[in-house]
A and B are shown apart, each in its own frame.
Chain A
């Protein structure tokens, strides 16, 4: 399998806080990689570092054979790196359609807004938002805004797509719907890195899982290997299990 993204001993700190510690990780073309770990482990930071939002303090990042360690966010987007935000970031006053049109317009080098809107329509209907096309993004429900994020990301024709907790805050029917969409995306050949707390979803869609804990990569393997890894159970799964039984 060929590599599409490689992180080589990537670190990132925020003043005193070490959010990523020498993370070395390869993502293969066409796989769905699960990225899990407790809150504050550095998962979102990893995405931000790859996308140029918070550049790495040390280490190198290679995407499709190109060194992108010092790349600007908008350049990363044009190379085919796209992501959804854990905390949704719509253009609130724009309609759903224009939100997606913006993604198509600026990542694909369209010359005018009109052709971008035409293209945007297809992505909106893929995520099931065609009925909301003319509504301002601010009026959409959380589940719809999450799907809007996805449509925006898709309009950028990504080679590599980061999904940052797309299911957080959704009810089980909505989660099921989102999971189906992710399956379809994976089938279409997009490489996906998925940050997710719902182990059911992770085990359902991911072919490989990596675990981040305190900014360090502590496990990397098949779903079966990872869930049986004592270090992972100790750092993350055990805690999740405890939370679930406490809730009962």
Chain B
């Protein structure tokens, strides 16, 4: 295993020890951290590996939240609802990807963004199934006290993050990952050497969807109530891009670090500058990207090269 992957696994292991140190507030933050990490790791597959800037994360998230919400309402157990949502997103995104990923660059970005709008409108109008703009109440899972609940959802999200990280690491080292890197660098040349680019791009899009949709399912059960403007929030599409850029495009370790740093910034800034927190947060992000254009993972490399030069 490469050193970056090892570091990724160790970091995920450390996150699992959070309940030893913190109370309900820390667990809420930890659950958010795991969710953000799932977003960033997933986005990295299509945006980082294949080089297609997708704004569809919010669409997958909302889809998963509503699919699971409806299934939970129908009496399915949480784990099954979450898996079904993930698999459904995998298949739907794979099929959609074949069409959407014919577009490149800005055109693809805008098409993926409109996917969010389309799904939100669908959910808004399917009142019988989803409650429309009124939102959807989700029956309580287990529910034996605040602490037990917090612990349960933290570990549910953590397990999903682990599954995402393992999958993404596997992709990065596989024939699929190699092919996505070819597509990112030169799509014409990639098809000319016998790579089925449509298939590979669809797989990347599908993989970037399934874990996010499952996270949406866990989120829905966690917060008990969802409405379209909450789960189809465009910010869910933008944040993973920012996180990945902060951490380092194309690197799973970077995606995770970026998610943690982003959440930290969001929380600190929100507490200290409640009136103007989005402005301050935006400013901080711009500064980070200006001074660290290749993300946090480049820090370590830069230091290594710096040392080598002086020896």
Binding site for B on A (CB under 8 A): 51, 53, 72-74, 77-78, 82-83, 85, 89-94, 98, 101-103, 105-108, 110-113, 152, 155-156
Contacts and interface: CB of A to CB of B under 8 A. Distances in A.
Contacts, number: 75
6 contacts: A89-B186, A91-B186, A102-B193, A106-B190, A107-B193, A156-B194
Contacts of A85: 189, 192
Given A89-B186, A91-B186, A105 B178 contact: yes
B248 interface: no
Chain B: interface residue count, which band?
Answer: 10 to 19
Contacts of B191: 72-74, 77
Interface of B: 174-175, 178-179, 181-182, 185-186, 188-197
Given A111-B175, A113-B178, A106 B185 contact: no
A41 to B, nearest CB: 22
A233 to B, nearest CB: 35
B194 A112 contact: no
Given A85-B189, A90-B189, 5 more contacts: A74-B192, A91-B182, A106-B179, A107-B193, A107-B194
A82 B179 CA distance: 18
A108 to B, nearest CB: 8
B175 A156 contact: no
4 smallest beta-carbon distances between A and B, as pairs: A107-B194, A77-B194, A89-B189, A106-B194
Contact of A91 (B174, B175, B189): B189
Given A77-B191, A102-B190, A113-B175, A91 B181 contact: yes
A51 B189 contact: no
Nearest to B178: A113
B300 to A, nearest CB: 19
B181 A106 contact: no
A91 B185 contact: yes
Contacts of B185: 91-94
Contacts of B178: 98, 101-102, 105, 113
B63 to A, nearest CB: 30
Most buried by A among B181, B185, B191, B193: B193
A166 to B, nearest CB: 15
A107 B188 CA distance: 14
Contact of A89 (B174, B175, B188): B188
Contacts of A89: 186, 188-189, 192
A60 B204 CA distance: 35
Most buried by A among B178, B182, B194: B194
A107 B189 CA distance: 12
B197 to A, nearest CB: 7
Nearest to A100: B193
A92 B182 CA distance: 9
